[in-house]
């Protein structure tokens, strides 16, 4: 069964053809990074306009790379929640039009479920239930994942998502956008113990996150260092700020995730979302998981960031469960995954 998956939840226009939920035949993504770089972050209206420009081209390219026509497609899946509402509407409108024109079933997919499913597309040995840490620019949450793709949300961020804070800190340091990759590379050259940034909610005893305090602390630190010319004169290295900031964020993410796995007796931990590409997070989580006898899995980079393949993948499972949506399907800026 071949499904066309479309994702326009933020600043990537993505389309993919996936067979039987796991075989990725094509996976095409158009990035808008250059369009948003001068603003230091994603501008929602600009993102929507760029999606309009790219959506038909990207869908056609996905079909061409898969050597597939709509006659070979069995269903169309599209992210319809959560995300930037204007961006989502572009993908939903395109998917509904294509479903109507080609008389194909339509499935509206939760973007977070797509991220959670991404690991299953490349790791056949995943066991259930398992703990999934989903971290991206818009989402930070811990989920217990059960067989049949049912979920129990254990905790989520109370304010900023981890990826969002990376972008903000990168902006404070004048490093550019997107901040995740830039800070990760810079941090490898710095001392993670140079500055003691706070670890909010590290010992709260629950699975909730909060990253606004770290963001504010870095901002005040940088502003004071700049006033005192300590960065200019080399007394404080930007590499040390980056490394210390990253160490604080990763410590919280890893501690909460391992605590969840230990408490639920899970032997499998998955990591997904854009921030799952972070090298320090990957290595730290793997090391910490050894102490509780758990295995850690994460997708390749092209399945960490937003893509259409993960949407088509989870759509296959939903299709088998009987999910179908009407052409009245709408987009929603918010949309938590449903608990068991």
Q: What is the CA radius of gyration of the chain?
A: 20
pLDDT reading at 159 higher than 90: yes
Q: What is the mean pLDDT of residues 41-52?
A: 96
Mean of pLDDT values over 202-229: 94
Contact 94, 55 (CB under 8 A): yes
pLDDT the model gives residue 209: 97
- Distance of alpha carbon 98 from alpha carbon 74, whole angstroms: 12
Predicted local distance difference test score (pLDDT) of residue 228: 87
Contact 209, 160 (CB under 8 A): no
Q: What proportions of the chain, in percent to the nearest 5, are helix, strand and coil?
A: 45, 20, 35
Task: Give the span between the Cα atoms of 215 and 220, in whole angstroms.
Answer: 9
Residue 62 or residue 232, greater confidence: 62
pLDDT for 335 beyond 90 = no
Give me the pLDDT at residue 137, please.
Answer: 83
**pLDDT at residue 175 in the model:** 93
pLDDT value at 42 more than 90: yes
- pLDDT given for residue 232 in this prediction: 72
State residue 243's pLDDT score. Answer: 98
Lookup: tokens for 160 = 């900023």
With a cut of 80, say whether residue 340 has pLDDT above it.
Answer: no
Q: What average pLDDT does this structure show over 278-287?
A: 97
Residue 234 pLDDT grade (very low, low, confident, very high; cuts 50, 70, 90): confident
133 is written with which tokens?
């840490």
Start-to-end C-alpha separation, the chain: 27
pLDDT digits (tens, 9 = 90+) for 283-332: 999 999 999 999 999 999 999 999 999 999 999 999 999 999 999 999 99
Q: What's the average model confidence in pLDDT over 166-186?
A: 94
* Torsion sign across C-alpha atoms 14, 64, 2, 22: negative
Question: Would the pLDDT of 277 be above 90?
Answer: yes
pLDDT given at position 244:
98
Instruction: Note whether 253 and 211 are within 8 A (CB).
Output: no
Q: pLDDT tier at 339 (50, 70, 90 boundaries)? A: low
What is the CB neighbour count within 10 angstroms for residue 33?
Answer: 12
Instruction: State the residue for tokens 């499904």.
Output: 3
How much is the pLDDT for 113?
97
Q: What percent of the chain has pLDDT over 70?
A: 99
In this predicted model, what pLDDT tens digit does every residue of 86-136 receive, in sequence order? 999 999 999 999 999 999 999 999 999 999 999 999 998 899 999 999 998
Whether residue 338 has pLDDT greater than 80:
no
Helix (H, G, I), strand (E, B) or coil at 285: helix
How far is Cα 24 from Cα 22, in angstroms, rounded to an integer?
A: 6
Domains plus CATH for the chain?
A: 2-116+303-320 (3.30.420.40), 126-298 (3.30.420.40)
Q: How far apart are CA 9 and CA 32, in angstroms?
A: 12
CA 280 to chain centre: 16
pLDDT at site 169? 96
């Amino acid at each position: 069964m071949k499904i066309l998956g479309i994702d326009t939840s933020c600043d990537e226009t993505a389309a993919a053809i996936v067979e039987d939920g796991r075989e990725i035949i094509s996976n095409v993504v158009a990035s808008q990074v250059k369009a948003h770089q001068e603003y230091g972050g994603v501008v929602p209206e600009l993102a929507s306009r760029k999606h309009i420009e790219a959506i038909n081209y990207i869908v056609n390219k996905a079909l061409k790379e898969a050597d597939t026509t709509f006659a070979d497609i069995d269903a169309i899946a599209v992210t319809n929640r959560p995300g930037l509402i204007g961006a989502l509407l572009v993908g939903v409108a395109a998917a509904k039009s294509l479903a109507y024109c080609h008389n194909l079933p339509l499935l509206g997919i939760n973007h977070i479920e797509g991220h959670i499913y991404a690991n299953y597309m490349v790791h056949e040995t995943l066991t259930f239930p398992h703990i999934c840490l989903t971290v991206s620019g818009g989402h930070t949450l811990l989920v217990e994942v059960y067989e049949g793709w049912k979920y129990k949300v254990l905790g989520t961020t109370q304010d900023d998502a981890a990826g969002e804070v990376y972008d903000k800190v990168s902006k404070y340091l004048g490093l550019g956008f997107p901040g995740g990759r830039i800070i990760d590379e810079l941090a490898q050259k710095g001392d993670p113990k140079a500055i003691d940034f706070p670890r909010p909610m590290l010992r709260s005893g629950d699975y909730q996150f909060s990253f606004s305090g770290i963001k504010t602390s870095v901002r005040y630190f940088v502003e004071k260092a700049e006033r005192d010319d300590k960065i200019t004169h080399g007394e404080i290295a930007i590499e040390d700020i980056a490394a210390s900031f990253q160490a604080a964020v990763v410590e919280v993410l890893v501690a909460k995730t391992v605590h969840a796995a230990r408490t639920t007796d899970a032997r499998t931990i998955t990591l997904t979302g854009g921030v799952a590409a972070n090298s320090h997070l990957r290595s730290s989580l793997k090391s910490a998981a050894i102490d509780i006898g758990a295995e850690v899995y994460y997708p390749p980079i092209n399945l960490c960031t937003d893509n259409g393949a993960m949407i088509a993948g989870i759509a296959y499972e939903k299709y088998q469960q009987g999910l179908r949506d009407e052409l009245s399907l709408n987009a929603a800026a918010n949309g938590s995954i449903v608990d068991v």
